[in-house]
Amino acid sequence: MAARRRGALNAPWFIGTLAAAALSVASAANSRAEGDPARGAQAFRACAACHSIEPGRHLTGPSLANVFGQKAGTVAGFPRYSKALKDSAVVWDAQSLDTWLSNPAKLIPGNWMTFRGIPDARVRADLIAYLKAVSEGNAPAPRASGGMMQAPRLPDLEAADPRSVVTAIRYCGDTYHVTTGSGETIPFWEFNLRFKTDSSEKGPPKGRPVLVGAGMMGDRAQVVFSHPVEISTFIKTECK
Ligand code: HEC
């Protein structure tokens, strides 16, 4: 009897809690439903340095062209997943993406996405709406005024200006002397010159490495080769 009375007394509180819970579920659903793909396309600039939305075009991170509904860590042709992501049982939907984007390390500890997370729930909802639209083949066209949509400016090395094609590299002491197609030879302190490879279609042709980002004499720059084997054969150690 007493127990029942206490139960009866508690009822309004209980109903209130239920109502609050229902409300918060409803508002969570709403805030997700409100995600705007066009705004999400703008917000994707935070991701575009590492992800493309073109199928098969992988950058630091995998292409996100078909991420919606996909099991984590399974994009074909992306060879750089962490074990943590591959072994996770996560499937990407609105809920898991929301958790991931608010704090990647919390959803999948030990993953390799160097990204702190997005605290703003609306921005996350916009991004998720955008990724969903992309996966469904309905990506909103980038706004004309949006500018800088696709972040990393990968130079088209295949069609590089002959003046930036490298014809010879001589190594002497602590210096690389880089000769380009214009006949000019530029000295670089060895610590300021980086060697990279680009094996993609946009990469340089075999045996024709390209000098990128040499603003000023001796400033930092990079030489991009088509294959790592070229690096050691191309560079001649010689002092004259
Ligand atoms: C600094 C580079 C970087 C940035 C910025 C970045 N990511 Fe990532 N992302 C990665 C890498 C690397 C992975 C793979 C992580 C792993 O294997 O642990 C990844 C994985 C993912 C995955 C899982 C993909 C899969 O195939 O399972 C999603 C989804 C994702 N990122 C979304 C985003 C979104 C959305 C943004 C922008 C808000 C973003 N990322 C920003 C590098 C980045």
What pLDDT, on a 0 to 100 scale, did the predictor assign at position 34? 77
Distance 31 CA to ligand 1 centre (A): 23
91 DSSP 8-state letter: B
Which run of H or of E encompasses 24?
Answer: helix 2-33
Amino acid letter, residue 218 = G
Q: How far apart are CA 56 and CA 64, in angstroms?
A: 9
Which run of H or of E encompasses 38?
Answer: helix 37-43
CATH 1.10.760.10 positions along the chain are 33-146
Closest approach atom of ligand 1 to CA 78: 26
Fold type of domain 33-146: Cytochrome Bc1 Complex; Chain D, domain 2 (1.10.760)
What pLDDT, on a 0 to 100 scale, did the predictor assign at position 153? 56
Distance 152 CA to ligand 1 centre (A): 15
Distance 91 CA to ligand 1 centre (A): 14
Residue nearest to atom 35 of ligand 1 (CA): 47
Distance 103 CA to ligand 1 centre (A): 11
What pLDDT, on a 0 to 100 scale, did the predictor assign at position 33? 55
What pLDDT, on a 0 to 100 scale, did the predictor assign at position 156? 73
The position carrying tokens 């390209």 is: 210
What pLDDT, on a 0 to 100 scale, did the predictor assign at position 53? 94
Distance 217 CA to ligand 1 centre (A): 37
Query: Mean pLDDT, 10 residues at a time, over the chain (240 residues)?
Result: 43 45 45 79 94 91 96 94 96 97 96 94 97 92 51 67 91 93 90 89 89 70 93 92
Alpha-helical segments (H) within 57-141: 83-87, 94-102, 104-107, 121-135
Query: Is residue 226 packed enough to be buried (19+ CB in 10 Å), middle (13-18) or exposed (0-12)?
Result: buried
Q: How far apart are CA 95 and CA 132, in angstroms?
A: 12
What pLDDT, on a 0 to 100 scale, did the predictor assign at position 151? 47
Helices and strands in the chain: count of H runs, count of E runs: 7, 7
Residue nearest to atom 2 of ligand 1 (CA): 50
pTM metric for this prediction = 0.72
Distance 51 CA to ligand 1 centre (A): 7
Q: Out of 39, 42, 50, 91, give the residue to mutate to test ligand 1, the one with the largest number of ligand atoms within 8 Å of its CB.
A: 50
The half-sphere exposure of 64 on its side-chain side, counting CA atoms within 13 A, is 23
Q: How far apart are CA 116 and CA 106, in angstroms?
A: 10
Q: Out of 47, 87, 113, 131, give the residue to mutate to test ligand 1, the one with the largest number of ligand atoms within 8 Å of its CB.
A: 113
Distances (CA, A) of 79 to 56, 60, 62, 75, 76: 12, 10, 9, 9, 8
Query: Ligand 1 — pocket residues by CB below 6 A?
Result: 46-47, 49-51, 60-62, 64, 67, 72-73, 75, 81-82, 84-85, 92, 100-101, 111-115, 118, 127
